[in-house]
A and B are shown apart, each in its own frame.
Chain A
Amino acid sequence: MIGTVLFCMFLILLLGGVPIAVALGLAGALAIALADQTLMAMPTNVYAGIAKYPLIAIPMFVLVGCVFDRTGVALRLVKFATALVGAGRGALASVAVLVAMIIGGISGSGPATSAAVGQVVTRGMVKDGYPRPFIAATVGAAAATDILIPPSIAFIVYAVMVPGVSVPAIFMAGMFPGILAGVAIIVPILIISWLKDFGGKNAERDENSVWQSFKEAIWGLMAPVVILGGMRIGAFTPTEAAVMAVFYGLFVGFFIYRSMTMKDLYEMLVEAGEISAVILIIIALASVFAWSTSTLGIVQPIAGWIVGLGLGEYGTIALLMVALIFIGMFLDGVSTFLILLPVLIPIARAFEWDLTWFGVILTMKIAIGQFTPPLAVNLMVSCRIAGVTMESTIPWVLWMILAMFVALALVVVFPDIALWLPRVTGMM
């Protein structure tokens, strides 16, 4: 009874446009009150929900993204990648995907990557003969690899919520599935570009020498190395790796590219602080929701019911896949994890799935949801930059969704794609 009230109240608030954090907090508070418990549990859980050391990685990685965004590294990466692959049919579109993947190795959020890449490639791609809806589809899909390629805020939240999964381990586990997803998206992009003759139309393209553009781009290319390398050799915790990347980015911005001022620094700190707060307050109030659902024993029956359906391993994964992609169309990755993990983890335990691998495939499903119309957040950002409607992207983006599904299916069938890297690096 209380469970039904809790979820109905939550759904009404959520669909009524109430901030997700408030919907979670009030639904949790109502359930606590209905169960005749004291509401003192609310501030206790709010404070304990965010006062956790591993979570400091979130504001720090958000700051890394803001710093590198302002250095103008995206533009230099595009120039370098273009110099490498030339300008044939589909070349610039593939460059957009590759650059989104590298930026994914610096920043931890999909929409931010979609904006950074979209702003840099859209004009050039239009000149090169790509239709605008195709550009928006490419950028939106490419940015979805961001939450798989470390660092990823969704992974940090998953690792903090799931006992036995460490942040470095799941970062490493996301690496190859992220690259696989990026490559999978490039396949339909190239095929469509060849068939429809997209790209290679810009006659007045300024030729960059590979070496010259490499010298400019190397500073950006080194950023993921600083972040992952530091964690790999065990020199830094993820939070420390993020802070090192912040100082590295500031060094590049102030002394190498000389594109940054003290005013920029202040604005970046404020911007990163606000974006982090919007995520952290959801985590804080979600812990009230999670506390009430687990204390009142609402979660276990749902998990038990799904396991009891007798769908088998792959059947259950398929069911979760459909459910998560649908939810991923409405909610961001972090909120999805916060709301659903209490139900999903007991299911994974019942089937004795590896929890690190489970986190990776859940994140892949959310990534697909991020560029599936009509509500996809990455696609919304790239459409606004390209100046097209989301409906117009459907004929193109469908093929990219299909491609990423194939990548997801491969990771489901061959868990080693995810688990090989953390195992050989000794992370798990």
Chain B
Amino acid sequence: MAADFDPTAPQPEPRTRIPLTLERVLLAAAMGAMALITAANVVTRYLSNISLAFTEEYSVALMVVVAMVGTALATAGGRHIRIGFFVDKLDPGRRRVAEIMALGLLIFCFGLILWYGGRMVWDEYDFEVLSPGLGHPQWIYTICLPVLAVLVIGRALGRIIRLARGEDG
């Protein structure tokens, strides 16, 4: 399989302990809010003199939420973009092992984001860094990075357990 998001690939619902509805509701809310904020921006610009340009800051923060929450959802379902050409030629047992190793690396990667991201947020809190647009404390935006990294790691662990039991994939 080549690397891109394949809309026709079968999407079996993984049997997770914490329902994926959590990610789905968060994603739908964040996407809907981004669309509504942008639309409100256009409407107020043409109908009044009030500028809602400052809302850009919220939209950008929402996009970071979308990226992390959607990553958790794609991790649970094994739908990340990857080059499966060589791995998919292995027999099912080895393919399972390869995928567990890949998930281990994913956990390591988001573990780094969790650890150093946590320190970054602490520094911003400690030095009272303000956001460039609205002057809010910057940490209220960046904290979603380490917090949602926990979610991604949890979903990866869940998938490793399911793969080891012979489910998924």
Interfacial residues, chain A to chain B (CB-CB below 8 A): 13-22, 25-26, 29, 39-40, 42-44, 46-47, 50-53, 55-56, 59-60, 63, 109-112, 115, 236, 239-240, 243-244, 246-247, 266, 269-270, 272-282, 284-285, 329-332, 335, 375-377, 380-381, 384-385
3 nearest A-B residue pairs (beta carbon): A277-B70, A17-B87, A273-B27
SS of A interface (majority) = helix
How many angstroms between the C-alpha atoms of A55 and B64 in the bound complex?
A: 11
Q: Is B38 a contact partner of A272 (Cβ separation < 8 A)? A: no
Q: Is A331 a contact partner of B67 (Cβ separation < 8 A)? A: no
How many angstroms between the C-alpha atoms of A236 and B41 in the bound complex?
A: 10
Evaluate whether A274 and B83 lie within 8 angstroms (CB atoms) in the complex, with A50-B64, A243-B39 already known.
no
Report A-chain residues with C-beta under 8 Å of the C-beta of B108: 26
Report B-chain residues with C-beta under 8 Å of the C-beta of A330: 2-3, 83, 85
* B42 interface neighbour in A21, A236, A274, A276, Cβ under 8 Å: A236
How many angstroms between the C-alpha atoms of A192 and B145 in the bound complex?
A: 54
* B28 interface neighbour in A55, A270, A281, Cβ under 8 Å: A270
Interfacial residues, chain B to chain A (CB-CB below 8 A): 1-8, 24, 27-28, 30-32, 34-35, 38-39, 41-42, 56, 59-61, 63-64, 66-71, 73-74, 79-88, 98-99, 101-102, 105-106, 108-109, 112-113, 116-117, 119-120, 141-142, 145-146
Report B-chain residues with C-beta under 8 Å of the C-beta of A239: 38
Report A-chain residues with C-beta under 8 Å of the C-beta of B145: 43, 46-47
Most chain A CB atoms below 10 A, which of B32, B59, B67, B80:
B67
Q: Is A375 a contact partner of B85 (Cβ separation < 8 A)? A: yes
A54 to chain B, nearest CB (A): 10
How many angstroms between the C-alpha atoms of A285 and B66 in the bound complex?
A: 15
Q: Is B67 a contact partner of A380 (Cβ separation < 8 A)? A: no
Q: Is A22 a contact partner of B109 (Cβ separation < 8 A)? A: yes
* B60 interface neighbour in A18, A51, A274, Cβ under 8 Å: A51
Most chain B CB atoms below 10 A, which of A50, A277, A281:
A277
Q: Is B27 a contact partner of A269 (Cβ separation < 8 A)? A: yes
Report A-chain residues with C-beta under 8 Å of the C-beta of B61: 51
Q: Is A377 a contact partner of B4 (Cβ separation < 8 A)? A: yes
Report B-chain residues with C-beta under 8 Å of the C-beta of A115: 7-8
Q: Is B35 a contact partner of A246 (Cβ separation < 8 A)? A: yes
How many angstroms between the C-alpha atoms of A284 and B83 in the bound complex?
A: 19
Q: Is B102 a contact partner of A269 (Cβ separation < 8 A)? A: no
Report A-chain residues with C-beta under 8 Å of the C-beta of B28: 266, 269-270, 273
- 17 further interface pairs, Cβ-Cβ under 8 Å (given A112-B7, A247-B39, A276-B67): A20-B3, A22-B106, A43-B112, A51-B60, A240-B41, A240-B42, A243-B38, A270-B24, A272-B31, A274-B79, A277-B68, A278-B5, A282-B81, A332-B4, A335-B3, A375-B2, A377-B4
Q: Is B38 a contact partner of A240 (Cβ separation < 8 A)? A: yes
Q: Is A56 a contact partner of B4 (Cβ separation < 8 A)? A: no
A-B contact pairs, 19 of them (CB 8 A): A13-B105, A16-B102, A42-B117, A46-B113, A47-B142, A50-B63, A51-B64, A56-B60, A111-B4, A111-B6, A270-B28, A273-B69, A273-B73, A276-B31, A279-B5, A280-B66, A335-B81, A375-B2, A381-B7
Q: Is A277 a contact partner of B66 (Cβ separation < 8 A)? A: yes
Q: Is B105 a contact partner of A22 (Cβ separation < 8 A)? A: yes
A36 to chain B, nearest CB (A): 15
How many angstroms between the C-alpha atoms of A189 and B165 in the bound complex?
A: 49
Evaluate whether A278 and B109 lie within 8 angstroms (CB atoms) in the complex, with A46-B145, A240-B41, A380-B2 already known.
no
Evaluate whether A18 and B105 lie within 8 angstroms (CB atoms) in the complex, with A56-B59, A377-B4 already known.
yes
Report A-chain residues with C-beta under 8 Å of the C-beta of B42: 236, 240, 243-244
How many angstroms between the C-alpha atoms of A20 and B67 in the bound complex?
A: 15
Q: Is A381 a contact partner of B6 (Cβ separation < 8 A)? A: yes
Q: Is B38 a contact partner of A56 (Cβ separation < 8 A)? A: yes
Q: Is B56 a contact partner of A53 (Cβ separation < 8 A)? A: yes
Report B-chain residues with C-beta under 8 Å of the C-beta of A240: 38, 41-42
Q: Is B6 a contact partner of A274 (Cβ separation < 8 A)? A: no
Evaluate whether A278 and B7 lie within 8 angstroms (CB atoms) in the complex, with A26-B109, A269-B28 already known.
no
* A277 interface neighbour in B2, B71, B117, B120, Cβ under 8 Å: B71
Nearest B residue to A29, CB-CB: B112
Nearest B residue to A283, CB-CB: B67
